[in-house]
Chains A and B, each alone.
Chain A
Amino acid sequence: MKEEIKITTPLDEERVIQLKAGDFVNITGYIYAARDAAHKRIFELIKKGQKLPIELKGQIIFYAGPTPAKSGYPCGSVGPTTSYRMDLYTPPMLDRGLKGMIGKGYRSGEVIESMKKNKAVYFGAVGGAAALIARRFKKSEVIAYEDLGAEAIYQFYVEDFPAIVVIDSAGNNLYGIEPPKYKKQ
């Protein structure tokens, strides 16, 4: 088992460029959750040059929408959704200083190019383990777009949220590197 690297939010460029595709990380600190609907709104605001509901600089966005919390728990189940639906909206957010994204699945060439340009990192979280992941979530609060329900922007405080660096800031991409090693004719 590889050693897990502890990282804390917000991320700065120096920390981001140390993270390499294949690293296991444990993330501690405040992160945000946003899905398609919230991304679309942020994208529109950026296009119009307006103020955003959250400061993106140095932040990590988790592509997820939590289920309602059981009483006594800070957060319901919360697992990664497929990232490519956010691809169209992502480069302008990286231009605004977004440093990390957590999701699952491939990203577009445009996103990867923008990650290289802006020095950002893409983490994969474990799909299908939402209830387990939620145990690392200590605080949860809707901070924007409450009308979107589970698709609102949430702010979470996480402790040791486990993730894998899938695409690093140099553009190394595990989805491209690893499967060919196991491919059989």
Chain B
Amino acid sequence: MVIAKKAIIRKIGQFNKNPKYATLEKEILTKINNLGIGPAGLGGNITSLAVHIDYLPTHIAGMPVAVNVCCHADRHAEGIL
């Protein structure tokens, strides 16, 4: 969670130094903006200004992921990875 918080305060327009994660950041940003949700959910081409990913090593059996996203309205979702 701390890493996710730190990622948020990275300057917009800077991508992860690791090209693998920089590519993933760009891919996710494009997919989010293609959704058309827009500001406040009222429709638009920009839903997210940036996606920042950071990572640290972990034990192979634990793969924790923390995501910080907007406000309460957007914090409830389920998905299968």
Chain A contact residues, CB within 8 Å of chain B: 81-82, 84-85, 104-106, 124, 126-128, 164, 166, 174-175, 177-185
Contacts and interface: CB of A to CB of B under 8 A. Distances in A.
Interface string B25-65: 00000000011111011111100000000000000000000
Given A84-B73, A106-B73, A179 B34 contact: no
Contacts of A185: 34
Given A104-B40, A105-B41, A175-B41, A183 B34 contact: yes
Contacts of B45: 182
B71 interface: yes
A69 B13 CA distance: 36
A81 B42 CA distance: 16
* Minimum-distance CB pairs A-B, first 3: A178-B43, A182-B36, A105-B73
Contacts of A181: 36, 43
Contact of A182 (B38, B71, B72): B38
Interface size class, chain B: 10 to 19
Contacts of A81: 72
Interface of B: 34-38, 40-45, 71-73
B35 A82 contact: no
B13 to A, nearest CB: 20
28 contacts: A82-B72, A82-B73, A105-B41, A105-B72, A105-B73, A106-B41, A124-B42, A126-B40, A127-B40, A164-B42, A174-B43, A175-B41, A177-B43, A178-B38, A178-B42, A178-B44, A179-B35, A179-B38, A179-B41, A179-B42, A180-B36, A181-B43, A182-B38, A182-B43, A182-B44, A183-B34, A183-B36, A184-B34
